[in-house]
Chain A
Amino acid sequence: MKILKKCLLAGMAALALLGVAQVASAQETDQVGRAAYLDGVKGKKVIFVPISQGMDLNQAWVMVWQRHAARYGFTLEVRDPNGDTNAGIRAMQGAIAEKPDLIIVQNPDVQTYARLLKQAQAAGIKVLQVNMQSATQTDSYVGNDWIEMGRLEMGELAKHCTGPNAVSHKVVWLAGVQTGAANIYMRTGIDEVLKANPELQLVSDQPADYISEKARQITETVLQQHPDLCGIMGIWDNAEVGAGAAVAAAGKQDQVTIVTNGAGAATGCESIKNGLLDVIFNFNAPIQGEIAAQQISELLQHPDRKAGSEKTIFFGPITRVDKTNATGRNCWKPEDIK
């Protein structure tokens, strides 16, 4: 009887221990902090006001963010003004009125949304700016270091267009939209390089408005004036193919170096292979999108922090791509991101 009792006790103790062990192991498998993270982001509402969703970089970002949102249970709504600044203002006003947890914004220029962003912050909405900054600094900016971009591109031209072997010292800057952040800051970087290389001669500084046909027309006219042109730098690979076409039509592909930047889409690599472009400083939009996705998580996780109380900046990667490395991750296709 006693033995039986002992056995029973031992058995019960073993069972209890097993139970405790099970509870313990269940606690171990829950990743530290995950529950709080999920709790923080789940059910939150994020609104993105882009310049236009038709651009390759925008498509990459939104693909990355949608995947992130679906995985962690927050919603991402895209309010696309499709390049129309007035529609963009209405989209921003609408977004502020809806009081989402976070607004992501790609500014068409530094002024248009400047006051609206202040209003959003005052209303307690956190704001993440992507790639194109406003004059108003908000919680976070994820995107290019545009001054560095200007320095890199003009620096590349300085390599080709200075020194005794250069065909000439004449270079062209095909701008985008002159009030856009990219344009304003790139210009600062360009001026630094021009100052350091006084022999470089900026013979034309015209905006192509991100349109390839305009870039082609300007380049064609400039080439007539300066047949010994050495280099052209631009602001978006999809526009500078027009400059490339004008240079190719003049049969000066070996003489004129064309440098630009881009989201790293496969179409840019094709343009390098076709000889329309020489160098693209690739800011890899999918990686930029991933960095922004982590910023979204950070901003959603801390609802206790006041909007605009902490301001952070994240500059994304920039890779120099020419015909030797126009492959692999430097040339993404939308289907690679899914």
Chain B
Amino acid sequence: MPGSGKSDDRRLGFKASQEVVVVAISVMLFVVFSVTLNNFLSQGNIIAILKNVSILGTLAVGMGFIVVGRGIDLTMVAVMVVGVAFSIWISSWGIDFTLAVICGAILVAAIGLFTGVMVAIAEVPPIFATLAIASSVYGSGRIVFASDVLYAPPDIAWLKFVGNGSVLGIPMSVVIFGAVAALMGLFLRKTRFGRLVYATGDNPNAARTTGLPTRPIIVTQYVISALIAFTAGIIMTGLVTGIDTRLYNSSLIYDVLLVVVLGGIGLSGGQGGVRNVIAGTILVGILTNGMTILNFSYTSQNLIKSVILLGALAIDAIINPRDEQTSQSGDI
């Protein structure tokens, strides 16, 4: 458990190192692109980078929160698209859109609750529980909505503001991402509940034996991650006027997981935080932006992305070799 003696210092060092590697690569890419690409270093492009990763980043904050507690939530994209699509669908019956969004949030929280119960109480390993639930959530949505793409009603002022509005020149999507990340950071670092999440992730059995309420903690985590996924969906609907449920079939959920792991939150739980998520998100953002500007083909973009990500993991493995002491049970 963090905050207790020598082992914590070691883990703190491990955390920082992976994060440092990622930040260093980001800075390097940033410098290279700034020098070689026109307009890369413009205010507009930097805002565009942030705006383009706001959805990925928001989802990754939710995923990071789960991974810290030694879980994994593969339902996030399914919950995001189905939750928002549900809201749009019921608003097409004539229900006020804001009310429909609240209903969507309740549905999403209920799905999160169910997932949490499956993981914490039925003790189904999270990777299988969430994989199955993701598929059923998406499948149910697919049967109910008929169409893949659902458009929000056109004249909702607050939704337009989420898509096109800005605060002090910063687009709302970035503001929301920042707010979610900041709240999560404070929550994890400053609240007792946050510390309990680390304890549960570090060693669930020990946490439980010590008398911590691990089950309610895990259930709450999945409810929160579902609501964060829903928030990401609302950002997307604001940005592109509708939601495309086919995103479930895309690689988005793996990108989210990648950002989390790349940033330095180990899948074995109990380590890392929001800062790692932001580091991972920004690296992916800079990389994607630069390659889009360079007009690289899709295949070469994927290749370069994977090579750089593999490189980051390899450098980390060299700097922080794993041994019996550093590896934990459940480490993947």
Contacts and interface: CB of A to CB of B under 8 A. Distances in A.
Interface of A: 52, 54-56, 59, 82-84, 178, 203-207, 209-213, 215-218, 220-225, 238, 241-242, 245, 248-249, 267, 270, 274, 276, 334
B250 A211 contact: yes
A134 B240 CA distance: 32
Contact of B247 (A211, A218, A249): A211
B236 interface: yes
B295 A213 contact: no
B245 interface: yes
Given A204-B295, A220-B52, 12 more contacts: A54-B147, A55-B148, A178-B299, A204-B292, A205-B295, A206-B295, A221-B52, A221-B292, A221-B293, A224-B45, A238-B149, A270-B154
A54 B148 contact: yes
A210 B246 contact: yes
Contacts of A178: 297-299
A82 B142 contact: yes
Among the interface residues A59, A178, A242, which one has the most CB atoms of the partner chain B within 10 A?
A: A242
Given A52-B246, A59-B147, A220-B51, A207 B240 contact: no
B146 interface: yes
Interface in B34-93: 37-39, 42, 44-45, 48, 51-52, 55
Contact of A245 (B37, B148, B240): B240
B178 to A, nearest CB: 18
Contacts of B249: 82-84
22 contacts: A52-B246, A55-B147, A56-B147, A82-B249, A178-B298, A203-B295, A206-B298, A207-B298, A210-B246, A212-B240, A213-B240, A216-B240, A217-B288, A220-B51, A220-B52, A221-B289, A222-B292, A224-B45, A225-B39, A242-B240, A245-B240, A267-B151
B250 A209 contact: yes
Among the interface residues A59, A203, A224, which one has the most CB atoms of the partner chain B within 10 A?
A: A224
B164 A213 contact: no
B272 to A, nearest CB: 27
A334 B147 CA distance: 10
A213 B55 contact: yes
B242 interface: yes
- The A contact surface, by secondary structure, is helix
Contact of A241 (B241, B246, B247): B241
A59 B246 contact: no
A217 B52 contact: yes
B239 interface: yes
Contact of A213 (B44, B154, B236): B236
A113 to B, nearest CB: 18
A218 B48 CA distance: 10
B55 A52 contact: no
B148 A225 contact: no
Contacts of B163: 245, 249
A53 to B, nearest CB: 8
Among the interface residues A178, A203, A213, A215, which one has the most CB atoms of the partner chain B within 10 A?
A: A213
B164 A249 contact: yes
- The 6 A-B pairs at the shortest CB distance, nearest first, are namely A54-B148, A224-B45, A212-B240, A217-B52, A221-B292, A242-B240
A216 to B, nearest CB: 5
Given A52-B148, A204-B292, A211-B250, A221 B48 contact: yes
Contacts of B242: 212, 238, 241
Among the interface residues B48, B151, B297, which one has the most CB atoms of the partner chain A within 10 A?
A: B48
Nearest to A238: B149
Given A206-B292, A225-B38, A54 B240 contact: no
A189 to B, nearest CB: 19
Nearest to B37: A225
